[in-house]
Structures are given as C-alpha cells and as structure tokens.
Structure 1
Amino acid sequence: MNTIKVFAPATVANVVCGYDILGFAIDEPGDEIILSKNNSHQIAITKIEGDGGKLPKNPDKNVVSHVIRLFLKKINSDQGIDIELYKKMPLNSGMGSSAASSVAALVAINELMGAPFSRQELLPLAMEGERIACGNAHADNVAPALLGGLVLVRSYEPLDALRLPYPKDLSVVCVHPYVDVPTGEARKIIKERISLKSAVQQWGNIAGLVAGCCTNDLGLVGRSLEDVIIEPVRAMLIPYFYEMKQFALDSGAIGFGISGSGPSVFALCGNMEIAEVISQKIKELLSQKNIESESFVTKINEDGARVIS
C-alpha cells in the first residue's frame, strides 16, 4: 500500500459536566486526509483545502505533520510522506477540528505502515497534536475521534480512556455560530479553585450522566447535563447562549451545553425530528441577532476514524 485516504469525525468534548474527561464523536462533519509514500525521506504537506488559507503548510508547524513525525520516530522509520488535508469542518469551532486532523493522520499513517499500533496505542500521539494546537494535551476530543462513541478519560496519569455504552436512539444538534472563541483563551478564564460544594455537585452530575447512559435512562441523563463550574464562565464568551439553551429545552431537548470550548453549542435529543426543530429554531434566533451560523443534525458516531480507500 502506497496511498491511503482516511476520515475522522468531529467531536463534542466535555458533554456539559465532564470537563476534559468526557466526549463523543458525531457522524458529521469531519476531516479527510490522503497520505502517500515518497522516496525523499521527507514529510511534505502538498495540499490543504477548506481552511481558508489559515493552516500552515510548513511541516514543522502543522499538527498533522507533527503527529506523523512522532509516529515514524516511534517505529524508527525515515519513510517520506506526502500529505493532503481536506478540512470539512470549521476551524476554532469547539468541535474538535485539530483533533480530527491529528486522528485522521495517525490512523492513516498507522495503516500505511502495516498497522503496528492499536487505536488505544495511538491515543498518546494524538494528544501531542492537541498540545501543539492549543497548548494542552487533553484527550476528550481525540479519544472519541479515534475510538468512536462516548468515551470517558478515567485518568491521564496513567492514561486510561474507555468507551461507555449510550442510548443508541440519541440524536445530536451542533450549531456553530460564526464568532471567535479561541480554545487557548477559553481555557485561561477557567477558575483554578472551586468550592467543595460545587465539586460535589459536579461529581454527582458526572456519575449520573454515566449511569443514565449505561441504563438508557434519558431522564437521568437530562438531569445530569448540568455544569456548575465551567459553563457559567465560558457562556459569557458565547452570544445568546442562555437564550439558545432555553429554546432547545423548551423544544424537547434532553440537555444542552457548550461543545468543547465553544463557540459551538450542542443539544442531545431523543430523536431526529426534535433535533431538526431545535437546529432550525437556534439558527433563526442567531439570524435575528445578525449572527451567521451553520448547524449539523447527526447521530453519535459509533466507529470513530475510518479508512475510506
């Protein structure tokens, strides 16, 4: 095999109450990458499309070439690689754009080089892509993009990420308002200290969310989709966040929150019909406020990154 094409999905990190430890993949959007072997012993980015010219083609500065270089070093290979990256999701959206690129690259190079590593073994390398992208090697985007489904990062030291069961009928609305909330800045405003009362409440919500997903109890899931630590701070960066949240809940959403660091928001719904209604209502609200947006109505992606050809 000399050439391979891989798709990696967008993700919703945190899932409201699980900051840096919970995330799920969605069917769309996502990124595609094509890797081809070359004889130059060099890594070259030959094409990037869909980024509006914002991403560097310099292989020393791009997360895709960075994780490929880490992979090749790990297997002691000097194989040359040409990279084509097709961004099919918005940048700086809170939907795991850099994670999708890193994961697509790693799954592709792993297959191209004979699949020496499992998906779990690729996870630390994908996290290094996040370190380059936003300064923090968190796994709540890359883990679900790699593994698919709903993922819990139980521990970072040592790394322990595992898939959780979830209600298969769940539908997801992701709405991306065209406003700028850089991930690094969104992380900086988070409080370094919280009260024990808030911590206990958050732990209860995380446990309730996991229990609700494992038992298909949508009522428990909905009650648990509450964040008393991160959302109150980050919501200030997202125009009309609470208005969007109220629209979603009044229209039948199980829960609503910020996708990753924002500005994208998401709603969990019991079916696609409710999801479509919520998508339309939120887009109409933002339009009335002169904010352009795009939305995705989708299911949770069960498989994570996949080889296309």
Structure 2
Amino acid sequence: MNLLKVEEGAWKDISGRWRQLAGGFYSHGWSLELVESRIDGPFDWAKSFHHNSLEICINNLGHGIVYSDHSQLEFRPGTVGFYAIANKKLNAQRRAGEYTQFVTVEWSRSALAKELKGMEEWLLPPVKAWLEGKREEPLIGSPRPISPSLKSRLESLLSGSFSQPSLTLFAHALSLEAAAEVLFEPNQADIKMCPFSPAHKLIVEKAKEYLKEHFTSSIRLHDLARHVGVSPSYLSRLFSKETGMSISDYVRNLRIEKAAELLKRGDYNVTEAAFAVGYSSLSYFSKVFCQVMGCCPCVYPSPKRLVNKRSTP
C-alpha cells in the first residue's frame, strides 16, 4: 500500500501541508510525519489513522480531540499523547479556525513489539494488552507536556540540517524517545510546556503585522488570537517569549514611536499627535511618552521648532 497516497488523501481538504519526514509505515514499521495547516472548518482527523498502528502525536499548535465510546483525549498546544485503533472505531476532530502544527510517530504493532521486547512489564497495562492483541477497545493515552529533551530533538530534526542516512537514524531515535516518553510511567510529574519549531515565529510575525495595521484603534486579544488561529492565552505566552514584552507593551511602543515620528516631522502638535495614534487623554499620552522616549512630548525634537528657536533673537 502507498502511504503517501493514503495520507495525502486524508489531508487533502486542509489548506496546508502533510509531509513525511522519515521512515515508512509499511516498509519500516514506523513513520514520522509533519502536518502544518490552518483548519478552516470541522475536520475529521481520524481519516489518517492506520489499522494495527499506535500513533504518538507531538502537538505543538492547535487543539485536537481523539475519542471513542468510553474515553476521550484532548491535545492542547505543547502536549504529547498516543492512541491506537483496536476492533472498535476511533474518532478524531481538529478545532476549526486554528493554525495547527503537529508531528506524528506511527508505529505498526509488530515493529513496536519488536522494539519493546523485554520491557513489557514496565509498559502501561493498556499498551501491553494492545501489543499482545488482547484489547478490544481503542487505546487512548493521557496527554503530557512535551519534555525539553523531546522538544530539542524535534527542533533539530525540523531544522533541515540532516542528510540521508543520518536523517533516518536521527528520526528513528526520536520515534523511540517519543515512545519511551508516553508508553511508560513518567519520571517527571511537572514539565514545562513550550513551543518547539520555527512555526511559532510565524504566529508571532503574523500578530505583529496585525498590530502594526490596527495599533491606532482598540485591539482585543480575542480578535488578535482569532486572526492568527491560536488561543488568547497561548498567544500571550508565545508573544512574550518571542519578543520579550507583552502584547500591550508592544502596542504602546508602536503608538509612541509613531507619535514621535509625527512630532519630529513638525506637522503635528502634541495634542494632534496623541489623537492620531489612538490616545484620547493628553495627560496619559504625555506620561506614556515620557516612559518610552525618556522626555516629555512638548520638548521632543522637532525640525520646525529647532528652526524657530534658532531664529528667535
């Protein structure tokens, strides 16, 4: 069976891309794959699942749900979890209106059993039962925060700096690490969630573009988050991590820098500059201007003012 045709058929309705990074489900028993897309409408994620396979999802951006008749798994940004189809159907959905990015490791039952031979007693009981073919219900594992180690390996893989056959070896090692991280009892109870790929930079840049176009008006975090396709809380954390400042501070700086430009040109007085960049209170504008520029707007350098000052006897 051609994996590329199966996967591309499953993801053909999304406005993004599916890409096999390494391996091959039918040829190697494992496959490492990347999905990057904006989900514009309700999407059935389960169409990409394979029979007799255990899939580990390293979920960087977006929200996904995998569920059966008796259990449910929610993937949030920065989490990793697993699921497997048994004799009963497994369902999955991706949230509409979000930018999603995740990497999946798909293991065939036989390949994973071979890799984990001798370690069965330390596996989570449902995983052990699935590997032995003794489980009727679909297998759904609780999501965990992506560990710093797995995040670092994935960043290296997605950097594109590997060549064959080193890419295959590195990807196989990453696939084993992902299995070790979620199929056994965790060693760490609390691991920080953090983004792992250059895709998060695209989210922040898109947010910056929106802010630059709308900074003179009132900007709601909810509207900004919807525009870039992530949750408001995730965008706030991501923006602060990437820029070193909050979204409100970034907007403040945009406004003051634009006001300073208007004053420097000499075409606007202080009141006009304040109103032009979205401030309705002159006193508050002056206070913020002093904080950002280090001086009051009334004495900020203006070419016309300097000329007038020099011409005064």
TM-score category of the 2 structures, normalised to the smaller one: under 0.3
Bigger Rg, structure 1 or 2: 2
TM-score normalized with structure 1 length: 0.23
TM-score normalized with structure 2 length: 0.23
User: Would you tell me which structure has more helix in proportion to its own residues?
Assistant: 2
Structure scoring higher RCO (CA < 8 A, sep ≥ 6) equals: 1
User: Would you tell me which structure has more strand in proportion to its own residues?
Assistant: 1
